[in-house]
Amino acid sequence: MTPQDRAVKAAATMWGRDQASQWAGMGLKHVDEGTATLTLEVQAHHCNGHGICHGGVTFMLADSAFAFACNSRNAATVAQHNVISFIAPARRGDLLTARATEQNLAGRSGIYDVTVTNQDNVKIAEFRGFSRAIGGVVFDES
């Protein structure tokens, strides 16, 4: 199995069980070893009392892209801790794209950067995720 095939199969397996990302309205657009891209169109129910996309929704999108990237090698992996910086507001109707890229993987720990942009390529947020492999696999390769 190639690394790309493994990443696609891991993503398909996770997506089939990921009710949270689907419920939020996310779409899985691309996955490869150490990378993933997800999208979300900001709807009214994603907006806060200021009429802009709730920061937790932006965080959730980035966190989901991070999850697909760090599980792309078929090693069951979770977040150890994450941090986000909000740069510009996202608004109702915006199409957000979260692109996760692996920066470092050493043993059971990884570092991933996720950039969230809108349809005009305006940077909405920068997210850094720190992962930890917990043992086991996403899918059985035997």
In the chain the domains, ranked by start, together with CATH numbers, are: 3-133 (3.10.129.10)
Determine the straight-line distance between the first and last CA of the chain, rounded to whole angstroms: 11
Q: Where are the beta strands (DSSP E) in 87-122?
A: 95-106, 109-117
d(CA 136, CA 17) in angstroms, rounded, equals: 16
pTM for the model stands at 0.96
Tokens representing 53?
């996309």
Instruction: Produce one character per residue of 42-55: b if its CB has 16 or more CB atoms within 10 Å, e if not.
Output: beeebbeeeebbbe
* Structural Rg of the chain based on CA atoms: 15
**pLDDT, tens digit (0-9, with 9 covering 90-100), for 1-56:** 999 999 999 999 999 999 999 999 999 999 999 999 999 999 999 999 999 999 99
d(CA 114, CA 18) in angstroms, rounded, equals: 19
**pLDDT, tens digit (0-9, with 9 covering 90-100), for 91-118:** 999 999 999 999 999 999 999 999 999 9
